[in-house]
C-alpha cells in the first residue's frame, strides 16, 4: 500500500514500527512531523497490515513523502495460537529482521534511493547491525519514559548488584546506585530485569536493546527534559545523542476535530472545576471483576462525579448505572487527552502507562495509580514519590473503602491540593518545553538534523 510521490533530493529513511500496544501511533506522529519538515526526504513506513489498518483511514491526509508498506506478522500459515502471553509478539520478533530487510530492499528499488537512515522503535535491537550492514545511521525511539529506559540500559548492573535468583528478600531495596533511581525500589522495576521470565523472547529483546542503544546515532523519547532532569543528564552521558521531544500529546496538530461520540466533553461542561474523576486503564488491561465492582461501589458511595471509559460493563454492580445516572457516565471510549485538559477534571484514575501519565502531566491533573505490569509500577512510583503528583491505590488493589479514601485525599485533603500544585508546575514546564524555543522544540530540530542530514 505504497503511496506515490515524487519528492526531490536524495534522502530515504526506513521507519520500522513495533505493531503492538500503543507503539506504532507515536512513531507515526513523529514521522509525520519529520516528513512535513523535510519534504524532499522519502519516509518508508514499515508495519504489519493489521497495525497499519488501525493507523490509517481511507481519508487519511498523509504527507506525500510518506510511503506505507505492510510487513508480515510472522504468524505461519495455519498456525494455531496456544494462548500463552506475548505469543504474537514472539512470532513477530523472530521473523522481523528478515522481513524488514526484504521489504526495505523492495522499497529502495521502488523509490530509487538507498536507505541512509533507519528510524526504528527502540525494541528492535537488531537494527544496529542492519544499519551497519546498510551503511546507514540508526535512530531509536523509546516510546516510554526515561525511568524505564534507564532500567533496561542498566539491567546488567542491576542484576550484578541485586542478583536474580534470591531477589525475593531484596524487593524493598532502592536502586540508589543508579543516578535518578534513589527512590525506585527493586519491586518497581519491569518484569525481566531481575524477576519474572528473564529468558522469554520479550525479556531478551529488552535486555539486548539496552546493550545495543549506545550504538545508535541518537535515542529519542516522548518526554521533556524538565520532567526527569537527573535521568536526562545521565543518559546524555551514556548515548551519542539523547533527545526528549515531547509531550507528543501537545503537538498532535493532525487531530483537527475531536472525536467524542459519547458526548463526554458536553457532560463535563456542567461540572465544577476540579471535581470530576476520569477513570481509564488503557487498551491492553482491565482490572479483574472484583476490582471493577469496588471502583463502582467507591464512586457511588463517594458521590464524586465521574467519566469512566470501560469497554465491557458486565461486571458493574446490578443497578449501578441507573443509580448513578446523575452522578457520572460510563462509556466504551472517551477522548482522553481532551478530558485531561478540561478544567472540570480533578483526578485521573489510571494504570500508569506512559502515554496516559504524560497526558495527565500535560493537563496538570493528579493521579490515582493502579499499575499492572511493565513500566507501570515505575511510573506509579514516580507519580507518588518523585514528582508527588498523585498516589498509588492503597495496598495495590481497588477496594471500596480504599478507593474512597484515595478520592478524598486527592480531591479534598490538603495533601491533594499539594499534588495539584505540583502537577500544575509540571504542566507549565511541559507547555514551555514544546514552545518554539523550549527544550523539546530544540531537541526536535536536533532529531530532524540527525535523520535527514546524514
In terms of domains, do 140 and 84 share one? yes
In terms of domains, do 418 and 270 share one? yes
CATH of the domain at 276: 3.40.50.2000
Please give the tally of structural domains in the chain: 2
Query: Is residue 315 annotated as a catalytic residue, yes or no?
Result: no
In terms of domains, do 161 and 142 share one? yes
How do residues 414-453 score in pLDDT, each as one tens digit? 999 999 999 999 999 999 999 999 999 999 999 999 999 8
pLDDT of res. 72: 97
In terms of domains, do 272 and 336 share one? yes
Cell readout for 409 is: 485525599
How do residues 69-80 score in pLDDT, each as one tens digit? 999 999 999 999
Give the phi and the psi of residue 192 in degrees, each rounded to 5: 100, -10
Q: Does 255 map to a domain?
A: no
pLDDT of res. 251: 84
CA distance 34 to 447: 9
In terms of domains, do 292 and 422 share one? yes
Average pLDDT, the chain: 94
Active-site annotation holder among 23, 69, 152, 207: 23
Active-site annotation holder among 10, 60, 69, 121: 121
How do residues 271-296 score in pLDDT, each as one tens digit? 999 999 999 998 778 999 999 999 99
Q: Are strands 242-244 and 218-221 parallel, antiparallel or unpaired?
A: parallel
In terms of domains, do 372 and 235 share one? no
CA distance 203 to 347: 33
Residue 395's Cβ-count burial label (10 Å; 0-12, 13-18, 19+) is: exposed
Q: Does 268 map to a domain?
A: yes
In terms of domains, do 177 and 60 share one? yes
Q: For 53-115, give the DSSP string.
A: HHH--TT----TTEEEEEE-----TT------TTHHHHHHHHHHHHHHHHHHHHHHHHHTS--
Q: Does 254 map to a domain?
A: no
How do residues 134-155 score in pLDDT, each as one tens digit? 999 999 999 999 999 999 999 9
Cell readout for 8 is: 526531490
pLDDT of res. 398: 98
Is the peptide bond between 134 and the residue preceding it cis, with omega within 30 degrees of 0? no
Q: Does 2 map to a domain?
A: no
In terms of domains, do 217 and 119 share one? yes
What would the mean pLDDT of 387-412 be, rounded to a whole number?
Answer: 97
Q: Does 339 map to a domain?
A: yes
Three-class SS state of 14: strand
In terms of domains, do 268 and 360 share one? yes
Q: Does 82 map to a domain?
A: yes
Query: Is residue 121 annotated as a catalytic residue, yes or no?
Result: yes
Residue 84's domain comprises: 12-246+434-452
In terms of domains, do 164 and 153 share one? yes
CA distance to 70, 71, 138, 225, 320, per residue, from 17 (Å): 10, 10, 14, 24, 41
Amino acid at each position: 500500500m505504497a503511496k506515490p510521490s515524487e519528492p526531490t533530493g536524495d534522502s530515504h529513511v526506513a521507519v520500522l514500527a513495533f505493531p503492538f500496544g500503543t507503539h506504532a501511533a507515536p512513531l507515526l506522529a513523529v514521522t509525520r512531523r519529520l516528513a512535513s519538515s523535510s519534504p524532499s526526504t522519502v519516509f518508508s513506513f514499515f508495519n504489519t497490515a493489521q497495525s497499519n489498518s488501525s493507523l490509517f483511514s481511507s481519508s487519511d491526509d498523509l504527507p506525500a513523502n510518506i510511503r506505507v508498506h505492510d510487513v508480515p506478522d510472522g504468524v505461519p500459515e495455519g498456525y494455531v495460537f496456544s494462548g500463552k502471553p506475548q505469543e504474537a509478539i514472539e512470532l513477530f520478533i523472530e521473523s522481523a529482521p528478515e522481513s524488514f530487510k526484504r521489504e526495505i530492499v523492495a522499497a529502495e528499488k521502488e523509490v530509487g534511493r538507498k536507505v541512509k537512515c533507519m528510524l526504528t522503535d527502540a525494541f528492535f535491537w537488531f537494527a544496529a547491525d542492519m544499519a551497519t550492514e546498510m551503511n546507514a545511521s540508526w535512530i531509536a525511539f523509546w516510546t516510554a519514559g526515561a525511568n524505564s529506559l534507564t532500567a533496561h540500559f542498566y539491567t546488567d548492573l542491576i542484576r550484578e548488584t541485586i542478583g536474580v535468583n534470591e531477589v525475593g528478600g531484596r524487593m524493598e531495596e532502592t536502586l540508589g546506585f543508579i543516578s535518578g533511581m534513589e527512590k525506585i525500589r527493586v519491586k518497581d522495576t519491569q518484569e525481566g530485569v531481575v524477576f519474572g521470565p528473564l529468558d522469554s523472547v520479550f525479556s531478551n529483546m529488552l535486555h539486548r536493546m539496552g546493550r545495543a542503544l549506545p550504538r545508535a546515532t541518537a535515542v529519542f523519547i516522548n518526554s521533556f527534559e524538565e520532567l526527569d532532569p537527573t535521568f536526562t543528564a545521565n543518559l546524555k552521558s551514556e548515548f551519542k545523542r539523547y533527545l526528549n521531544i515531547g509531550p507528543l500529546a501537545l503537538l498532535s496538530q493532525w487531530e483537527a476535530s475531536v472525536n467524542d461520540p459519547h458526548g463526554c466533553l458536553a457532560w463535563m461542561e456542567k461540572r465544577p472545576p476540579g471535581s470530576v474523576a476520569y477513570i481509564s486503564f488503557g487498551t491492553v488491561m482491565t482490572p479483574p471483576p472484583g476490582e471493577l465492582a469496588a471502583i463502582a461501589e467507591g464512586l457511588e458511595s463517594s458521590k464524586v462525579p465521574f467519566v469512566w471509559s470501560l469497554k465491557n460493563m458486565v461486571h458493574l454492580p446490578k443497578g449501578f448505572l441507573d443509580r448513578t445516572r446523575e452522578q457520572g457516565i460510563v462509556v466504551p471510549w472517551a477522548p482522553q487527552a481532551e478530558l485531561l485538559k478540561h478544567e472540570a477534571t480533578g483526578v485521573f484514575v489510571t494504570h500508569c502507562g506512559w502515554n496516559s501519565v504524560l497526558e495527565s502531566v500535560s493537563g496538570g491533573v493528579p493521579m490515582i495509580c493502579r499499575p499492572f505490569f511493565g513500566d507501570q509500577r515505575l511510573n506509579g512510583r514516580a507519580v507518588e514519590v518523585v514528582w508527588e503528583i498523585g498516589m498509588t491505590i492503597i495496598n495495590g488493589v481497588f477496594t471500596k473503602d480504599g478507593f474512597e479514601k484515595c478520592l478524598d485525599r486527592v480531591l479534598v485533603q490538603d495533601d491533594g491540593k499539594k499534588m495539584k500544585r505540583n502537577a500544575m508546575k509540571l504542566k507549565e514546564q511541559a507547555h514551555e518545553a514544546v514552545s518554539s524555543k523550549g527544550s523539546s522544540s530544540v531537541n526536535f530540530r536536533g532529531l530532524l538534523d540527525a535523520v535527514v542530514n546524514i
